[in-house]
Amino acid sequence: MILFDGVWFSYTPGRHVLQDISVEISPGEVVALMGENGAGKTTLVKHINGLLKPSQGTVFIDGVDTRTTSTAALARKVGFVFQNADHQLFADTLEGEVAFALRNLGFPNDEIDERVTRYLEKFDLTRYKERSPFLLSGGERKRLALASVLCVEPEVLILDEPTQAQDAIQKLKLAQLIDSFRGSGSIVFLVTHDVEFAVQVVDRLLLISQGRLLADGSPRQILGNHDLLRRARLLPPQITQLAHKLADRLPSFPRDIITLKEAVTATSRLLAKR
Ligand SMILES: Nc1ncnc2c1ncn2[C@@H]1O[C@H](COP(=O)(O)OP(=O)(O)O)[C@@H](O)[C@H]1O
Ligand SMILES: [Mg+2]
């Protein structure tokens, strides 16, 4: 479980980047954190793996205060895929990159080989396995960073902007992968600007603006609240915008639509009535 209890944080004295954040996330939850550029999203998630410690308040991971835990102990539990994949890749080959954390955590060799093969395959990278990570495209590097963190199968998985530079097929695969994590009782904490992706995969949305938690609820509750979205400088999914435009003309058309599937159902119903 992740618990933020009255967390404040400043990089420089007097300038609060996180302000009084309190939130609890239980095993099995898939959560997205959204908000404007510079809102404090990356700063907040860096508190989960102990890269940053609160200036005031406490962060508990499985009941343990991050201030009293080593980063190494947290690394066992919390996998973190950085916003910029280049900050976490360093090995000579893709295989070496994925094997690194497994070796560090003391996995047996046959288990390492099996997971390296399986995770390179999951992320469509097998054909480059002996290449240098630095010869990959931006999107491929991001997938390699994902593979090298996910292969450990951490209890908490933090993904900072995972859909950046990914095409539709890769996004769909990522959505399926997140779904499989949900089944295993892990926490997935997604930082994203991609509302369309978020509604597909998350159960819960947190909105942050200027370091303060603005809202916490289901995607439907939050994405239907245009005032909240405006304050967090987000646009609702395009399909929701379309539903509102249709509902302006056809009062029986539902406004609380957030996915394409719901829009198709509502449209079919409408056509059947005519
Ligand atoms: N290492 C740092 N030193 C000083 N200020 C920082 C540092 N990292 C981020 N900030 C500032 O903290 C604020 C929040 O940044 P960040 O958490 O990266 O936002 P987000 O991920 O929501 O875009 C921004 O104003 C940013 O300029
Ligand atoms: Mg960020």
Task: Identify the pLDDT of residue 214.
Answer: 95
Answer yes or no: is the C-beta of 39 below 6 A from any ligand 1 atom.
Answer: yes
- Integer Cα distance of 236 and 59 in angstroms: 31
Scan for tokens 């996915």, then name that residue: 259
- Integer Cα distance of 69 and 48 in angstroms: 11
Task: Identify the pLDDT of residue 85.
Answer: 81
- Integer Cα distance of 148 and 154 in angstroms: 11
Fill in the amino acid letter for 1.
Answer: M
- Integer Cα distance of 141 and 137 in angstroms: 6
Q: For atom 5 of ligand 1, which residue has the closest CA?
A: 11
User: Closest ligand 1 atom, CA of 83?
Assistant: 21
- Integer Cα distance of 61 and 155 in angstroms: 10
Q: Is 125 in contact with 147 (CB distance < 8 Å)? A: yes
Beta strands at 204-209 and 30-34: parallel, antiparallel or unpaired? parallel
Task: Identify the pLDDT of residue 22.
Answer: 98
- Token duo for residue 91: 């090995």
Answer yes or no: is the C-beta of 11 below 6 A from any ligand 1 atom.
Answer: yes
Instruction: Mention every residue, 6+ apart, whose C-beta is less than 8 A from residue 148.
Output: 88, 89, 97, 98, 100, 101, 119
Fill in the amino acid letter for 136.
Answer: L
133 CA distance to ligand 2 middle (Å): 23
Count CB-CB contacts under 10 A for residue 53: 14
Helix axes 138-150, 94-104, angle to 10 degrees: 30
User: Closest ligand 1 atom, CA of 211?
Assistant: 14
Answer yes or no: is the C-beta of 40 below 6 A from any ligand 1 atom.
Answer: yes
- Token duo for residue 245: 């435009």
- Integer Cα distance of 37 and 193 in angstroms: 9
Task: Identify the pLDDT of residue 270.
Answer: 87
Answer yes or no: is the C-beta of 137 below 6 A from any ligand 1 atom.
Answer: no
Answer yes or no: is the C-beta of 43 below 6 A from any ligand 1 atom.
Answer: yes
- Token duo for residue 246: 């249709």
Count CB-CB contacts under 10 A for residue 201: 23
Answer yes or no: is the C-beta of 138 below 6 A from any ligand 1 atom.
Answer: no
Instruction: Find, among 199, 208, 216, the residue nearest to 23 by Cα.
Output: 216
Task: Identify the pLDDT of residue 95.
Answer: 96
User: Closest ligand 1 atom, CA of 160?
Assistant: 21
Task: Identify the pLDDT of residue 151.
Answer: 93
**Domain boundaries defined on the chain:** 2-236
Count CB-CB contacts under 10 A for residue 121: 12
Task: Identify the pLDDT of residue 155.
Answer: 93
The model carries a pTM of 0.90
Scan for tokens 């700063």, then name that residue: 43
Q: Is 214 in contact with 202 (CB distance < 8 Å)? A: no
Task: Identify the pLDDT of residue 198.
Answer: 92
Task: Identify the pLDDT of residue 72.
Answer: 82
Sequential pLDDT tens for the chain (274 residues): 999 999 999 999 989 999 999 999 999 999 999 999 999 999 999 999 999 999 999 999 999 999 999 888 888 899 999 888 888 888 999 999 999 989 988 999 999 999 999 999 999 999 999 999 989 988 899 899 999 999 999 999 999 998 888 888 888 888 988 888 887 889 999 999 889 899 989 999 999 999 999 999 999 999 878 888 888 888 888 999 999 899 999 888 888 899 889 999 999 998 898 7
Task: Identify the pLDDT of residue 83.
Answer: 85
Q: What is the DSSP letter of 237?
A: P
Instruction: Identify the CATH number of the domain defined by range 2-236.
Output: 3.40.50.300
Task: Identify the pLDDT of residue 110.
Answer: 97
